[in-house]
Amino acid sequence: MHIPKSTNILKKCAYFLTITGMLLQVVTTSAEAEVVTQQFRGLTLNANLEIAENMDLTNGMVLIVHGLMGHSRMEIIETAQQALLGNGKSSLAINLSLGVNNRKGFFDCTWPHRYGQDDALDEISAWVSWLRAKGVKEIVLMAHSRGANEAMVYTVKQKDPEITHLAMLAPGTDDSKQRFEERYGSIFDETMERVEKERDAGRGNELIENVDFWWCPRATVTPNTFFSFYSENSKYRNFKYYLPRTQVPTLIITASADERIPDSAKQVTPYIDGKKIQLVVIEGSGHFFMDFNIEEAVESMLEFLADPG
């Protein structure tokens, strides 16, 4: 089911009044905000925990995963947590380490890229275990962009009983090779050949220099990292396999004016059944759901959660 969400002026005015009241509420509940950490494979992982007023961990949690090289305090994540607070929902926004100890802020392109998408699944699992140990019984997994792809695969592979729903915001349905060549020209095959040669020689975890990687030109990257994100057969882009196998109700929220992934709604439509897997399009929104668009996305998710069907 494709449900477009309007962003006309009257609705935006209503959202302005809503968000104003919501921000006032956030001020009163700010004492419940906390940066939490845990140790994982020799690294410190951190996350931002927001507990809604008159709630505790046993009342359920929205676990939020950011997109590629993002972080838990980027605008879309921070605003989503505030919107959830205003609706009485607690949330935990995690920072994927990307191989960096206690990482904060965006991943710096000058840092060595030593991570893969499978690492994200392991860290999501670590935070689910952390919440489980705190007594959380119900978790909504909410993720943006490439994080949404990782969350999709996670729910199929892991099958945590605590995860009750999945919300995927602007998932990465694009062609990675095409995106690479739009930015760097027709050198993708040459770069992949170099990467595969190193992997075949058993040097997949050794750093190589001057590799164009997403929006990081001439980066220092391990061949396994490059392969994880650009492999033609990557499971993280295999919506045909994973979406029908999701064990929980899944909402896909796309942006009609997505400048990074312009045809995402079209790409996922074949897998939408209007029941277990639903689609909402936020009209006029870009990839990062700026301004009022993230509030609309959160509203759509809350409506989805409240639907008993």
Instruction: Give the least confident one: 19-23, 54-58, 110-114, 250-254.
Output: 19-23
Instruction: Give the least confident one: 78-82, 105-109, 288-292.
Output: 288-292
Whether the per-residue pLDDT at 199 is higher than 70: the answer is yes
Do β-strands 43-50 and 91-94 pair in parallel, antiparallel, or remain unpaired? antiparallel
Percent above pLDDT 70 for the chain: 89
Instruction: Note the helical H segments in 30-145.
Output: 75-86, 117-133
Q: What is the mean pLDDT of residues 155-180?
A: 92
Confidence band, pLDDT 50/70/90 cuts, at residue 46: very high
pLDDT at position 158, please?
Answer: 93
Phi, psi of 300 (to 5 degrees): -60, -40
For residue 281, the one-letter residue type is V
Q: What is the mean pLDDT of residues 187-215?
A: 96
pTM of the model: 0.89
Decide: 119 and 107 in contact? Cβ < 8 Å. no
Beta bridge partners of 91: 50, 62
pLDDT at position 85, please?
Answer: 96
Decide: 110 and 81 in contact? Cβ < 8 Å. no
- Quick: pLDDT tens for 84-133: 999 999 999 999 999 999 999 999 999 999 999 999 999 999 999 999 99
* Residues counted in the chain: 309
3-state secondary structure of 51: coil
Start-to-end CA span in the chain (Å): 14
Percent above pLDDT 90 for the chain: 78
For residue 159, the one-letter residue type is K
Smallest CA-to-CA distance from 81 within 37, 59, 102, 51 is with 51
Q: Which two tokens stand for residue 303?
A: 């409506």
Smallest CA-to-CA distance from 133 within 90, 93, 162 is with 162
pLDDT at position 2, please?
Answer: 54
Q: What is the mean pLDDT of residues 280-289?
A: 96
Confidence band, pLDDT 50/70/90 cuts, at residue 5: low
Decide: 92 and 57 in contact? Cβ < 8 Å. no
Q: What is the mean pLDDT of residues 279-298?
A: 95
> Which 8-state DSSP code applies to residue 254?
E
Whether the per-residue pLDDT at 7 is higher than 60: the answer is no
Assigned fold of 2-174+235-306? Rossmann fold (3.40.50)
Instruction: Give the least confident one: 28-32, 211-215, 274-278.
Output: 28-32
Average pLDDT, the chain: 89
pLDDT at position 84, please?
Answer: 97
Beta bridge partners of 140: 62, 165
pLDDT at position 50, please?
Answer: 97
Confidence band, pLDDT 50/70/90 cuts, at residue 234: confident
pLDDT at position 9, please?
Answer: 40
pLDDT at position 179, please?
Answer: 86
pLDDT at position 235, please?
Answer: 86
Decide: 239 and 168 in contact? Cβ < 8 Å. no
How far apart CA 43 and CA 64 sit, in angstroms, is: 20
> What is the number of helices (H) and of strands (E) in the chain?
10, 11
Confidence band, pLDDT 50/70/90 cuts, at residue 309: low
